[in-house]
Amino acid sequence: MTDIIMAIDQGTTGTTVILLDRELNIKAHGYKTFRQIYPQPGWVEHDPEDIWHSVLDAVAEALETSDVSASDIRTIGIANQRETTLVWNKENGKPYHNAIVWQCRRTAEICNHLKKEGLENLLQERTGLLLDPYFSGTKLMWYFDMIGGLRDEAASRKAIAGTIDTFLVWKLTNGGSHVTDATNASRTLLMNIETLAWDDELAEILNVPLHIMPQIRSCSETYGYTENVPGLPDGIPISGMAGDQQAALFGQTCFQPGEAKCTFGTGAFLLLNTGEKIVPSKNRLLTTVAWKLGNKTTYALEGSAFIAGSAVQWLRDVLGIIDNADEVEALAESVKDSGGVIFVPAFVGMGAPHWLSDARGIITGLTLGTKRGHLARATLEGIALQNVEILKAMASDFGGDPVQLKVDGGASANNLLMQMQADFLGCRIIRPKMVETTALGAAFLAGLGAGIWKGFNDIERAWKEDRIFSPDMNDVDRDNIMKRWKSAVKKA
DSSP state letters, 411-443? GGG-HHHHHHHHHHHTSEEEEES---HHHHHHH
Enumerate residues 6+ apart whose C-beta is below 8 A from 45: 37, 38, 39, 98, 99, 100, 101, 104
Taking CA atoms, 320 is separated from 308, 315, 375, 383, 421, in Å, by 18, 6, 12, 19, 25
Q: Verify that 286 and 168 share a domain, yes or no.
A: no
Secondary structure (3-state) at 51 = helix
Alpha helices in 91-149 (DSSP H): 108-116, 120-127, 136-146
pLDDT in tens, 72-94: 999 999 999 999 999 999 999 99
1 pLDDT higher than 60: no
Side-chain half-sphere of 297: how many Cα atoms within 13 Å?
20
Q: Verify that 185 and 96 share a domain, yes or no.
A: yes
Residue 433 placed within a domain:
yes
Among 206, 235, 264, the domain-final residue is 235
- φ/ψ region of 8 (left if φ > 0, alpha if ψ in -120 to 50, else beta) reads beta
Band (2; pLDDT cuts 50, 70, 90)? confident
Q: Verify that 431 and 491 share a domain, yes or no.
A: yes
Lowest-pLDDT range, 114-118, 150-154, 277-281, 302-306? 302-306
Residue 242 placed within a domain:
no
pLDDT in tens, 421-449: 999 999 999 999 888 899 999 999 999 99
Global pTM?
Answer: 0.90
Rounded to 10 degrees, the C-alpha dihedral 227/230/236/237 comes to -70
Q: Verify that 269 and 221 share a domain, yes or no.
A: no
Residue 55 placed within a domain:
yes
H/E run at residue 53: helix 48-64
Identify which has the larger pLDDT, 11 or 56.
56
Q: Verify that 325 and 371 share a domain, yes or no.
A: yes
Band (10; pLDDT cuts 50, 70, 90)? very high
Confidence at residue 235, expressed as pLDDT on a 0 to 100 scale: 96
Lowest-pLDDT range, 136-150, 245-259, 325-339, 357-371? 357-371
56 pLDDT higher than 90: yes
Q: Verify that 270 and 348 share a domain, yes or no.
A: yes
- φ/ψ region of 32 (left if φ > 0, alpha if ψ in -120 to 50, else beta) reads beta
Confidence at residue 313, expressed as pLDDT on a 0 to 100 scale: 86
Residue 58 placed within a domain:
yes
Residue 69 placed within a domain:
yes
452 pLDDT higher than 70: yes
351 pLDDT higher than 90: no
Query: What integer is the mean pLDDT of 310-326?
Result: 87
Q: How far apart are CA 99 and CA 97, in angstroms?
A: 6
Band (163; pLDDT cuts 50, 70, 90)? very high
Q: Verify that 456 and 344 share a domain, yes or no.
A: yes
- Counting the structural domains of the chain, the total is 2
Band (306; pLDDT cuts 50, 70, 90)? confident
Confidence at residue 407, expressed as pLDDT on a 0 to 100 scale: 95
Q: Verify that 426 and 336 share a domain, yes or no.
A: yes
Confidence at residue 237, expressed as pLDDT on a 0 to 100 scale: 97
Percent of the chain with pLDDT strictly greater than 70: 99
Residue 243 placed within a domain:
no
Q: Verify that 218 and 146 share a domain, yes or no.
A: yes
Lowest-pLDDT range, 143-152, 271-280, 328-337, 346-355? 346-355
Q: Verify that 156 and 275 share a domain, yes or no.
A: no
CA nearest to 8, candidates 70, 56, 64: 56
Among 235, 263, 284, the domain-final residue is 235
Confidence at residue 488, expressed as pLDDT on a 0 to 100 scale: 87
Band (335; pLDDT cuts 50, 70, 90)? very high
Radius of gyration of the chain (CA): 22
Q: Verify that 63 and 148 share a domain, yes or no.
A: yes
Residue 240 placed within a domain:
no
Q: What range does the domain containing 414 cover?
A: 248-492
Q: Is 301 exposed, middle or buried (0-12, 13-18, 19+ CB in 10 A)?
A: buried
Q: How far apart are CA 131 and CA 127, in angstroms?
A: 10
How much is the mean pLDDT over the chain?
92
260 pLDDT higher than 90: yes
Q: How far apart are CA 438 and CA 16, in angstroms?
A: 10
Q: Verify that 253 and 202 share a domain, yes or no.
A: no
Kindly tell me the sign of the dihedral angle through the C-alpha atoms of 236, 240, 241, 245. negative
Q: How far apart are CA 257 and CA 298, in angstroms?
A: 9
Name the DSSP class of 243: E
Confidence at residue 155, expressed as pLDDT on a 0 to 100 scale: 92
Q: 3-state SS string over 308-377?
A: CHHHHHHHHHHHCCCCCHHHHHHHHCCCCCCCCCEEECCECEECCCCCECCCCCEEECCCCCCCHHHHHH
Among 182, 202, 235, the domain-final residue is 235
Residue 17 placed within a domain:
yes
Enumerate residues 6+ apart whose C-beta is below 8 A from 149: none
Band (106; pLDDT cuts 50, 70, 90)? confident
Q: What are phi and psi of 312, to 5 degrees?
A: -70, -40
Residue 134 is part of a domain; what is its CATH number? 3.30.420.40
Helix, strand, coil fractions of the chain, as percent rounded to 5 = 35, 25, 40
